[in-house]
Structure 1
C-alpha cells in the first residue's frame, strides 16, 4: 500500500508591517518619481507629541543590514530595524487622498496612546 503524497501548499509570507492596496499604490508612485530601485524603510524615533514618532523614507537596498526585517510587496521591499519592529509589529500602513486628514495613516496595535495628528504614539 503506497501513501499518496499531498501537494505542499505554500504558506503566505508573514509580514510584521502590513500595507493596504492604497498604501502600496502610493509608495510605488513615489518610488517611480525617485527614478531608482529603492526600498521603503519604516521605523520609530524618540520625539513627537506622544513620545515616539514614525519614520518612513526611501533608501538604497544596499543599505539593508543583516539584522533588518524585510518584507516583499509586489516588487519592492519594506525594511524595518529590529528595535523599531518591537514597537511596530502588526502595524497597518494605509493611504488616503482626502483633502483633510489625507496622506499615510499608521494603525499600530502596540500603541497605548496616539496623538491627534496620527504621526506619533506612546507604547
Structure 2
C-alpha cells in the first residue's frame, strides 16, 4: 500500500526516542484543506483505532484509517537531508495536481474544495 524508506524510518525512530513517551504509532492521514483540496497529516498516536490498518516499516508502526487508504495507495515517504536541514517528503502517484508550496494535493477521485495557501 505505502512505502517508507529506511532513512525516513530511522528519523522517525529518533523522534520517538526524543519524545520519550514509550511506543508510538505514526498516523498517516488525509484531510480536506489546502489550495489543492487535500493535505497530509503525519503525527504520533499511542494506539490504533478499530478502523485503522497497521503497517510496519523498518521497525516503525504506521496506522492509516481505512477510509484514507485509497488516496494513499502507492505513497512513498522519505526523509531528505540538505545543507539547510532536513524534512520528510511524501510522493503520491495518485496526485494529479499539487499546490505551489507543496503542502496540498488533488486526486482524480477526490477533487476537494481548494482553499488559498
- TM-score, normalised relative to structure 1: 0.79
Aligned length: 106
Larger radius of gyration: 1
Structure 1's consecutive aligned runs of 4 or more residues displaced over 6 angstroms after TM superposition are none
- Which residue is equivalent to 2:115? none
Deviation at 1:72, TM superposition (A): 1.2
The equivalent position to 1:50 in structure 2, one of 24, 36, 40, is: 36
The equivalent position to 2:96 in structure 1, one of 112, 115, 123, is: 112
Cα pair 2:12 2:60 within 8 Å, conserved = no
- Which residue is equivalent to 1:37? 23
Q: Structure 1 regions of 5+ residues with no counterpart?
A: 1-15
In the alignment, structure 1 residue 22 sits paired with structure 2 residue 12: no
Q: Structure 2 regions of 5+ residues with no counterpart?
A: 108-117
Q: Distance in 2 between matches of 1:90 and 1:118?
A: 18
Post-superposition CA distance 1:16-70 (Å, at most 9, x none) = 1211111111111111111121010001111112110000000102xx1222111
> What aligned pairs does 1:74-113 form with structure 2 within 5 A after superposition?
74-99=58-83, 102-113=86-97
Against the structure 1 CA distance between its residues 95 and 110, is the aligned structure 2 distance closer, same or farther, given a 3 Å change threshold?
same
Q: Distance in 1 between matches of 2:9 and 2:100?
A: 24
Cα pair 2:9 2:60 within 8 Å, conserved = no
Q: Distance in 1 between matches of 2:96 and 2:83?
A: 28
- TM-score, normalised relative to structure 2: 0.82
What value does the CA root-mean-square deviation take over the aligned residues?
A: 1.6
